[in-house]
Amino acid sequence: MKKTLLLLTAAFLLLAPFTQASRPGEPIQVITPAKEINIAMSELGKKLYFDPRLSKSGFISCNSCHNLSMGGTDNLKTSIGHGWAQGPINSPTVLNSSLNIAQFWDGRAADLKEQAGGPIANPGEMAFTHELAISTLQGIPGYVREFELTFGTPEIDIDKVTDAIAEFEKTLVTPNSRFDRWLLGDDEALSDKELAGYQLFKQSGCIACHNGPALGGNSFQKMGLVAPYQTENPAEGVAGLTGIDADRFKFKVPTLRNIELTYPYFHDGDAETLAEAVDIMGRLQLGRTFTPEENSKIVAYLKALTGEQPSFALPTLPPSTEQTPPPNPFED
């Protein structure tokens, strides 16, 4: 009998980590690593993501504004584009962007693939054309070989390029944050203050928009719901697409994953700190002024959302040859 008890205890101890519930009632779900990735395509996409030859200047790559050393952003108010153009809007993070309902702040691209083609041809960003980008890649024998291995044909087109970039971007999820570990049942993963911050985050209504595995990215909401948002930034949000006045300042709710790394905040990059962003959100979206103590608790919670950053070897790019059109940084 004593032996049976001992065995049962041992079995319980062994099973405990696996049977611990993952807090199913929570409005936020654990973020999981990417699955079913086409590795050849993703590796090719990684090279393209880091390749400034997709820009007219040969100087700007996807990684310039969605820098994977810096939370998948450029940490600038608004971005720098071709000719040092001042971008119109804050670069959203590429991390976990596969979870977004749509891409760009106004959701004008349906998915990562559609998004990837945008900046290449935007005169204020990479300032190239799809045709010139393709003729550049087609002039790089190392790429021609890799496209053939990946797609079964050496004919490169923008469809394949954006497929590959999107496949790489799907790998850029950031699991295993301390909050995820808490969601998975590890009570020690959050401090009391962080946990209090999470409770406040839910009770005060932040959770209404920042929910799901990415804590956002899954709906469009008006910036300045209770009180109007003051900004010098001319972006109109969804109204810029629909022309409907009610869509003015309606933006995709940004993810709060890795928010400690993706400063400054909001579509205009106007909030430099998390404390400032939480304060503005409270007043303008929830009609609530957080006390400094409440603010500090929520900020503490938000910092527990930093997950494992993508880890991979810096890619080596295939060299240009005599057949490759050279970049054109200083000419029209």
Tell me which residues in 249-288 interact with a copy of itself (CB under 8 A). Answer: 260-261, 263-264, 272-273, 275
Query: Could you give the C-alpha distances from 306 to 191, 213, 310, 329, in angstroms and in order?
Result: 15, 13, 12, 37
Burial (CB count <10 Å: 0-12, 13-18, 19+), residue 130: middle
| H helical segments located in 20-56 | 39-50
User: Is 132 near a copy of itself (CB under 8 A)?
Assistant: no
Binding of a copy of itself by 59 (CB under 8 A): yes
Instruction: Report which secondary-structure segment, H or E, holds 202.
Output: helix 192-203
Residue closer to a copy of itself, measured from CB, 29 or 233? 233
Residues 300-319 contacting a copy of itself, CB under 8 A = 309-317, 319
Task: Give the nearer residue to a copy of itself in terms of CB position, either 34 or 275.
Answer: 275
| Contact between 70 and a copy of itself per CB under 8 A | yes
Provide the minimum distance between the beta carbon of 177 and a copy of itself in the complex, in angstroms, as a whole number.
14
Q: Of 125, 146, 169, 294, which one is the catalytic site residue?
A: 125
What is the smallest separation between the CB atom of 172 and a copy of itself, expressed in angstroms? 12
Phi, psi of 67, deg, nearest 5: -75, 120
d(CA 270, CA 278): 13
The distance of Cα 113 from the centroid of its chain, to the nearest Å, equals 14
Site string for a copy of itself, 204-243 (x = CB under 8 A): ----------------------------------------
Q: Are 275 and 296 in contact (CB under 8 A)?
A: yes
**Residue 331 Cα to chain centre, angstroms:** 33
Binder of a copy of itself out of 43, 51, 163, 270 (CB under 8 A): 51
Per the listing, tokens 């002039």 go with 139
125: annotated active-site residue: yes
How far apart (Å, rounded) are the C-alpha atoms in residues 194 and 171?
28
Nearer residue to a copy of itself within complex by CB, 209 or 261: 261
- Paired tokens of 119: 């900046």
For residue 58, is it left (φ>0), alpha (ψ between -120 and 50) or beta? left
330 lies in the site for a copy of itself, by CB under 8 A: yes
- The reply on whether position 68 binds a copy of itself by CB under 8 A is yes
| Catalytic sites, residue numbers | 125
**Which residues are near a copy of itself by CB under 8 A?**
50-53, 57-59, 64, 67-71, 74-77, 80, 83-84, 86, 260-261, 263-264, 272-273, 275, 309-317, 319-320, 322, 326-327, 329-330
